Amino acid sequence: YEQEVKADRKREHYGEAAALAAGAFAMYEAHEVKADPEHARTHKIEEEIAGVAALGSGGYALYEHHAVKTTERREDEVEGKKHHHHH
C-alpha cells in the first residue's frame, strides 16, 4: 500500500504542476491578446486551449488525491484502525 500511496501522491503533484503551468500559459496568452492585436485570434485560441488543459490537469490531480485517500482508508481497514467521517 505504501508504494501505491507514494505513486498516487507523485501523480497528484504532477497534475498540480501541469495545472499551474497551463494556467500560467493561459494568462500569458490572455495578455498577448491585448499586446499583439494583429494575432489576437490565435492568442485567444491558445488561451482557451491552455485553460482547458489547466482544468483537465487540475481534475487529474483531484482524482489522484482521492486515490491516495482511498488507498490510505483501505490500509487502515486492513490494520484494524477505525475511520471517522467528518462532514
Which range of residues forms the domain containing residue 69? 40-86
- Rounded-to-integer distance, Cα 72 and Cα 79, Å: 11
Whether residue 67 is found in the same domain as residue 45: yes
Residues 6+ apart with CB under 8 A from 65: 12
Whether residue 79 is found in the same domain as residue 46: yes
Whether residue 3 is found in the same domain as residue 31: yes
pLDDT at 1: 79
The number of folded domains in the chain is: 2
Whether residue 28 is found in the same domain as residue 3: yes
pLDDT at 77: 81
Whether residue 44 is found in the same domain as residue 30: no
- Rounded-to-integer distance, Cα 9 and Cα 2, Å: 11
Map residue 70 onto helix, strand or coil: helix
Whether residue 30 is found in the same domain as residue 45: no
What is the pTM (predicted TM-score) of this model?
Answer: 0.78
Whether residue 46 is found in the same domain as residue 73: yes
pLDDT at 85: 59
Q: What is the pLDDT along the chain (87 residues), one digit of tens a residue?
A: 789 889 999 999 999 999 999 999 999 999 999 999 999 999 999 999 999 999 999 999 999 999 999 988 888 888 877 655 555
Whether residue 46 is found in the same domain as residue 65: yes
